[in-house]
Amino acid sequence: MSVGIEAINVYAGRTCLDVKRLFEARGLDVKRFANLMMAQKSVNLPCEDPVSNAVNAAKPIISQLTDEQRGQIELLVVGTESGLDFAKPISTYIHDYLGLSRRCRSFETKHACYGGTAALQCALNFVSASVINGVKALVIASDAASVPDRMTYWEPSQGAGAVAMLISDSPALFEVDEGASGYYSHEVMDTLRPRSDMEIGDSDLSLLSYLECLEQCFSMYEERVSSVDILDTFDYLVFHTPFAGMVKGAHRKLLRKHKQLSSEQIEQDFEKRMLDSLVYCTRIGNVYSAALYLALCSLIDHNYFEAPKRVGLFSYGSGCSSEFYSGVIPDNAQEKLAQFEIRKKLDERYSLTMEEYEILSDMSTDRMSGVQEKVFDTSAYQNIYDSLFVGQDLLVLDQINNFHRKYKWA
């Protein structure tokens, strides 16, 4: 049975910040700006959190379904590293605001940026193993950055948003290759969120761990799948993207190990097979558990598929867990994805000044875990809220009463 992604959509917030402007304001070394390959980063308002991001990504997909099709969703899994409670998963809120059937499994997965892939693999196995015809699963990878790590090189890449994926036996967007997967895990303290208001890590250690995992995952994939060639097997490669420059370096290292290519040939291969997957990532920043699937959307939206194309995907989560797997993008995938107008919505985002960005950043702790009471007053950013949220059928966080979050449609 063919299983994979039937529909996919991105929500990347409604505001953004020019990354070069941030570099200049922070006094960061502009020589490192080009290595990041970043242009913009999405920024959530204080009344947005991983729940609202997830719902706003999934709602356009759910709205297209008939009541019968919506009832076929028997599993909701949310991958996130931005959980709001040690016990209650954010999937409960999302399930409610999407109006899904109560005859549905619901839970949250956590493994840093690998959480979205963990959720997806669970859903794929659920659908393929089900004896019920037409059963579906909804997977959402959703995160919201904590307080910006000011004056560091982490801050320019901290993005916000979610990617929602409908999983079924009608994979109109991406059909997964059954059994074609390699994975690798080990304990490492490379990046972490020890508190809700803190993201810390060792960037060099994280890069080394990422590269080690890529090589080991692909090695296992080669053992599982016969006659694999890194150049010939895959029409495209899509990697987890904390920032685009990291992906470019990983691609270079992988090809140097497996192929005797010149620097010019490696650059040509990168531009041919990877560059399209990074367009959205350079405009949004690191969306953590959703980053790999944002890159997949970028590839589909920025390429022309005259025939089915095989893609190799690499997922990495700090701490760490990783996986290399593959699948096929059908020839009509771009048309299917275009209806959600991801590019148009990115173009419509409000470009923040540094002063506005600092205000929103200072208020971001209000939406994080552990807040017991809070009413979300939008007056500090009323012009942005009125022009980009009011009347747009977007979910926002309204108040927190004794830790219970209440949302509303703007």
Average pLDDT over the chain reads 96
Q: What are the tens digits of pLDDT across the range 203-249?
A: 899 999 999 999 999 999 999 999 999 999 999 999 999 999 999 99
Nearest 10 degrees: CA dihedral of 11, 17, 19, 22? -140
Q: What is the pLDDT of residue 147?
A: 77
Query: Can you spell out the DSSP letters for 89-134?
Result: -THHHHHHHTT--SSSEEEEE-BTBTHHHHHHHHHHHHHHH--STT
Find the mean pLDDT for residues 185-194. 94
d(CA 257, CA 250): 11
Q: What are the tens digits of pLDDT across the range 96-136?
A: 999 999 999 999 999 999 999 999 999 999 999 999 999 99
d(CA 386, CA 33): 33
Who wins on pLDDT, 33 or 375?
Answer: 375
Determine contact, residues 332/300, Cβ cutoff 8 Å. no
pLDDT band of 197, cuts 50, 70, 90: confident
Q: What are the tens digits of pLDDT across the range 165-175?
A: 999 999 999 99
Q: In the chain, which segments carry CATH 3.40.47.10?
A: 4-174+340-409, 178-334
54, two tokens: 């997830």
> Which one of 3.30.420.40, 3.40.47.10, 3.40.50.620, 3.40.50.300 gives the CATH number of domain 4-174+340-409?
3.40.47.10
Active site residues: 81, 113, 240
By percentage, how much of the chain surpasses pLDDT 70?
100
- With 80 as the cut, is the pLDDT of residue 79 above it? yes
Which residues, including other chains, have CB under 8 Å from residue 256's CB and lie 6 or more apart?
266
d(CA 42, CA 151): 18
Which residues, including other chains, have CB under 8 Å from residue 364's CB and lie 6 or more apart?
44, 46, 145, 146, 147, 148
Q: What are the tens digits of pLDDT across the range 35-62?
A: 899 999 999 999 999 999 999 999 999 9
pLDDT band of 196, cuts 50, 70, 90: confident
Q: What is the pLDDT of residue 308?
A: 97
Find the mean pLDDT for residues 256-269. 94
Q: What is the pLDDT of residue 344?
A: 98
Torsions phi, psi for 48 (to 5 deg)? -120, 140
- With 90 as the cut, is the pLDDT of residue 6 above it? yes
* pTM (predicted TM-score): 0.97
- With 80 as the cut, is the pLDDT of residue 151 above it? no
Q: What is the pLDDT of residue 31?
A: 84
Determine contact, residues 273/324, Cβ cutoff 8 Å. no
d(CA 405, CA 398): 8
Q: How many residues does the chain have?
A: 410
CATH architecture of 178-334: 3-Layer(aba) Sandwich (3.40)
